[in-house]
Structure 1
């Protein structure tokens, strides 16, 4: 019984932390009429995004509240006619500049190199840079609201996490874990105040940075070979003396990251090893997640079958409190919670399997993304 009680206490503490983060410390910029007077450059890297870029670019062209807005698009070696789609959507809009990227040199991965090319070619007058991925669709005042929040928070880098759209069962199992993990385990207030680079998080789908602070941190040259270039850029900003902040961007942007299970599986596989670092650390973290969130319903079932209703009750309470944390996270970030949160133990098991697969394929040098090796 004492072991099951310990599980309940552990899960309860983490869920309480989720509640505090979501209710007190999470920044929530909203899509409402806002105007910024500073020049802003929106930077859009593209590689084989012909089927995705139209809604993204159309939303960028429809941005309001930023009178001095420039949109720089980089075609990063696409073979599917992405550049032609960009030209068709942008037409002769003078705000849009389409660049042709060059292959990443040794020591660079594709995404950081594309972002670096964009940053160096953006209008020198732009004092704020907004990085957006092709699978993100912004609300009309999203850029204005994000830049306003960047300045109000007095930070160098702001990461407004988009609302993640889910359609398939795999989406619903895995994608909500992104927000749940940082709301549950990352102390948001301490992250903003602490200069420690290790206490950092960011999402590259929608990222806003002060240009001077970006340059002081070394920009993407500081993260040239990093698969998690967004998190590493946040750490570089901290090392340079800047501050970072996360925000709920669900009212500013939406994102459908993957179209199907193979894309989702491979997308997580390529980067989970970098999230955890040493395999030993990954084993400890995944083991704890499984113990805290996957074990309770199994313990409850075994306890009921063996005639231990008190143990079953405590185990079910631990399961319920874990589900509550998932519900809080989903409601705080515009996600779907019913009935998906009930499958939270299964989600954690899938995350564990994806992590194991990531380390396995990395050890065999078989990780790649968009036709390029990532290790």
Structure 2
């Protein structure tokens, strides 16, 4: 027990060492207007009737830079297209496009983003999910930051809106991993292995995006933003993760079931690998779960304090709801359960599914 308690303490200290470097260095982009630019706000949408009007209206309310808003209806089976059509009649800056049939070996979002980029007219391409609500200054701030610092890709994690326990048991792990376990925290640089990005909010300089092959260079990927950031760095471009909590909000999921399905879908390109997942289980479980089983030992008690303190630091910095902090050990347990479910399901030949589509078939050739 003594040895385990000290191991748990060491594992709890590790993410603090990274967070103490990452959190203070997470850039907050300024509101200074950019030089002449046109930002194409590109929104892939499939069955997003519940969110699309709020998303589009917020995008059209952007200030400080010229914009166009392009929505790609990706075979929606609800009123998504009808809603966008109505909004487009009110504002000529909005266009609705219909995605062609999904080619074999492509994932839906990547295909929609690739087609959106082809249709975009802007100097900068701002890809957002349909459940993201931009703040009025976001497009101008991101484009201005990219232009002033010669950054080809700027990304951020929006402030995550959580209204239920199911969301609080899943969503906070995004920022925990970004700030507590990513060595550089997505800081500005050109080394591909240290790249990071969040697909909810990604701005790319159009010429650099196309030089790196865009989304079409990896058609079967699910973590499209991370893949894009790595490819752009591999081509010599600079990318950076900034504080997205002041640029946009996002409610990813409205239930535990939806969150579970969404994270399982993406897990196989993350931690859920035969070699990586045992290591991640030791790192996360040892730092955030094991100490609770050894509370009678002073080292374990300190490890618990460090674990919860780290979560408090990230919650404060990323403006997450404070009521979710006590659920932190359960969120870590759920995250590991999701990863193991994805890994074991993949071993059994189960293909991830999302919005009526299944993925994991033969890869496509880059377009």
1:75-154 equivalent positions in 2, closer than 5 A: 75-123=73-121, 126-154=122-150
Q: Look up the match of 1:247.
A: 242
Is 1:226 equivalent to 2:211 in the alignment?
A: no
Q: CA deviation at 1:348?
A: 1.0
Distance 1:286 1:106 in 2: 34
Q: CA deviation at 1:140?
A: 0.9
Is 1:181 equivalent to 2:165 in the alignment?
A: no
Is 1:43 equivalent to 2:51 in the alignment?
A: no
Q: CA deviation at 1:5?
A: 2.3
- Superposition RMSD on alpha carbons, in Å? 1.7
Q: Look up the match of 1:20.
A: 21
Q: Which of 245, 257, 268 is 2:252 aligned to? A: 257
Q: Look up the match of 1:309.
A: none
Please state whether the residue corresponding to 1:174 is helix, strand or coil.
coil
Distance 1:13 1:359 in 2: 25
Distance 2:98 2:161 in 1: 30
Task: Compare 269-278 and 346-355 and name the one that shifted more.
Answer: 269-278
For residues 46-98 of structure 1, give each alpha carbon's deviation from its aligned partner in whole angstroms, at most 9, with x where no partner exists.
Answer: 111111101100101111111x3111111111111211101222324111111
Q: Look up the match of 2:309.
A: 324
Please state whether the residue corresponding to 1:227 is helix, strand or coil.
coil
Distance 1:107 1:355 in 2: 23
Q: Which of 196, 199, 202 is 1:204 aligned to? A: 199
Gapped regions of structure 1 (runs ≥ 5): 304-311
Q: Which of 347, 350, 353 is 1:368 aligned to? A: 353
Instruction: Give the structure-1-normalised TM-score.
Output: 0.91
Higher helix share: 1
Q: Look up the match of 2:5.
A: 4
Q: Look up the match of 2:343.
A: 359
The 8 Å contact of residues 26 and 188 in structure 1, kept in 2 or not, is answered as no
Distance 1:116 1:192 in 2: 25
Q: CA deviation at 1:358?
A: 1.2
Distance 1:194 1:82 in 2: 38
Distance 2:177 2:186 in 1: 16
Distance 1:356 1:189 in 2: 25
The 8 Å contact of residues 11 and 322 in structure 1, kept in 2 or not, is answered as yes
Please state whether the residue corresponding to 1:275 is helix, strand or coil.
coil
Distance 1:206 1:83 in 2: 22
Please state whether the residue corresponding to 2:304 is helix, strand or coil.
helix
Task: Compare 98-107 and 56-65 and name the one that shifted more.
Answer: 98-107
Q: CA deviation at 1:118?
A: 0.3
Please state whether the residue corresponding to 1:193 is helix, strand or coil.
coil
Q: Look up the match of 2:52.
A: 53
Task: Compare 90-99 and 77-86 and name the one that shifted more.
Answer: 90-99
Distance 1:49 1:164 in 2: 18
Is 1:269 equivalent to 2:264 in the alignment?
A: yes
Q: CA deviation at 1:360?
A: 2.6
Distance 2:186 2:42 in 1: 29
Distance 2:35 2:251 in 1: 28
Please state whether the residue corresponding to 1:321 is helix, strand or coil.
helix
Distance 1:41 1:322 in 2: 41
For residues 188-230 of structure 1, give each alpha carbon's deviation from its aligned partner in whole angstroms, at most 9, with x where no partner exists.
Answer: 37853352x2222111111000111101110011121101111
Q: Look up the match of 1:278.
A: 273
For residues 248-287 of structure 1, give each alpha carbon's deviation from its aligned partner in whole angstroms, at most 9, with x where no partner exists.
Answer: 1111100000111111110001111211253221122123
Distance 1:177 1:190 in 2: 16
Distance 1:326 1:277 in 2: 23
Task: Compare 361-370 and 71-80 and name the one that shifted more.
Answer: 361-370
